Amino acid sequence: MDTVRLDEGLFRTTAPNGVVVLSERLPGVRSAAVGVYVRTASAHEVTGQMGISHLLEHMVFKGTERRTSRQLALELEVRGGGLDAFTGRDYTSYQAHVLDEDVPLAADILTDLVRRPLLRDADLESERNVILEEINGVADTPDDLVFELHAAAMWPEHPYGFSILGTPETLGSISAADLQRLHRDGYHRGNCVIAAAGNLEHGPLLDTLVREGWFEENGGSPARPPVGMTPAARGECRNEPRDTAQTHIVFGTDTFPLRDPRRFPLAILTNVFGGGMSSRLFQRVREELGLAYAVFAYKHFYQSSGQLGVYIGTQPGTADEAVEAIGAEYDRLAREGLPADELADGKRQLKGQVMLSLESPAARMGRLAGFELHDDEYRPLDAMLAEIDAVTQADVAAVAGEFFPSARQTVMRLGPK
């Protein structure tokens, strides 16, 4: 196996079968976070099986070759630890946060979940009903639903526009055999990244993974490559009638993957635009015009693209005024970029966010995995902060000019006619 030291207490090992292991030692804590990230998720689905990756994530918790569903729930919780999972666009994650002495147990349980689930037909109907309730919950929560509708409007022909949860129709068509096939094709060792951070050492972690069979022959294809892209819809306006007290509106456009060097100028712009109480949107739309309680900008990075957007919830009678005000702020930023003082403040804000976000073992673990999952080169924290400091007014002006014109934004409105 090939092991390299990336930083103080931080190592990366690549096994011949393709699995990658990263760890960071944090001696000042008494806990550790361990995660297995599988490069199989909603971006790899076809329309007729939308939601299958999320259903598989649920089904592995119904029992494994070694543990019942109750044992999976109890073994870490009774020791004060926790077990969690989520399905994203590009990968599915299984994570444990435990006392440092319980890292071997966490690795055992995570291995059980990822590599040895039973996926029984007898468990499928009840878990399908659980996810149907999850879908119903989104349908009853308009400030969640509007984001799903916006993604579908922006990427109508691409899995990035799919609902991660799926639909009642697609869930109803998925069989246990379909789940077993997806598990066989997607959950093999070479398609996995294992990351850990906390009071642990890389060598003993590798020893634990050896005992769990992670470095044996792969039995599958290499890691999935990034999904191909189709053009995103730009400049479209959609309305979804719904009897709600507010009109919920999302603006958004496609951007670029995380590994793109423009991510820091975009992050600075997103913060200045709508990242908090001091942002332009909050001050203009909420404080000056009184058009909303909630208004914010956001960004998402995927393996093959990215997304920049704005959300606002406002009264139906003020929705047009809100759209006009936000559009004007979009165009102002696209036209003018940032003055030197706002850029300096934006750099300080982003650097503070980056540093504060790494205060827990789970956050450190996620950061490590992210470099590998997004094909990004590892850089020490100080190097990342230096990259933020190096952003110029010309850098932010170029990004603002390309991604912030209001005419580029696809807009989804959910609310009364």
Q: What's the rounded mean pLDDT across residues 281-288?
A: 98
Compute how many other C-beta atoms are within 10 angstroms of the C-beta atom of residue 407: 11
- C-alpha dist (Å) from residue 120 to 41, 62, 182: 20, 8, 14
Q: How far is the C-alpha of 82 from the C-alpha of 84, rounded, in Å?
A: 7
Q: Are 414 and 145 a contacting pair, CB within 8 Å?
A: yes
DSSP letter at 244 equals: -
287 catalytic residue (yes or no):
no
98-141 pLDDT tens trace = 999 999 999 999 999 999 999 999 999 999 999 999 999 999 99
Q: What's the rounded mean pLDDT across residues 390-400?
A: 98
Query: 271: pLDDT confidence band, cut at 50, 70 and 90?
Result: very high
Q: Is the pLDDT of residue 298 over 70?
A: yes
pLDDT at 219: 57
Q: How far is the C-alpha of 155 from the C-alpha of 231, rounded, in Å?
A: 8
DSSP per residue over 321-389, as a string?
Answer: HHHHHHHHHHHHHHHH---HHHHHHHHHHHHHHHHHTTSSHHHHHHHHHHHHHTTPPP--HHHHHHHHH
Two structure tokens written together for 42: 């909603």
Q: Is the pLDDT of residue 326 over 90?
A: yes
CA 19 to chain centre: 21
Q: Which of 24, 57, 75, 372 is catalytic?
A: 57
Where residue 296 falls (left for φ over 0; alpha for ψ -120 to 50; beta otherwise) is beta
Question: Cβ neighbours of residue 180 under 8 Å, at least 6 residues apart?
Answer: 119
Angle between helix axes 52-59 and 176-186 (nearest 10 degrees) is 90
Q: What's the rounded mean pLDDT across residues 207-227?
A: 84
User: Vertex 154, ends 150 and 156: CA angle to 5°?
Assistant: 105
pLDDT at 254: 98
Question: Cβ neighbours of residue 264 under 8 Å, at least 6 residues apart?
Answer: 350, 387, 388, 391
Mean of the per-residue pLDDT values of the chain:
96
pLDDT at 222: 72
DSSP-assigned beta bridge partners for residue 5 = 11
Q: What's the rounded mean pLDDT across residues 188-196?
A: 96
Question: Cβ neighbours of residue 159 under 8 Å, at least 6 residues apart?
Answer: 42, 43, 44, 45, 89, 227
pTM for the structure as a whole: 0.96
Two structure tokens written together for 155: 């990427």
* C-alpha dihedral, 48 to 52 to 53 to 55, nearest 10°: 160
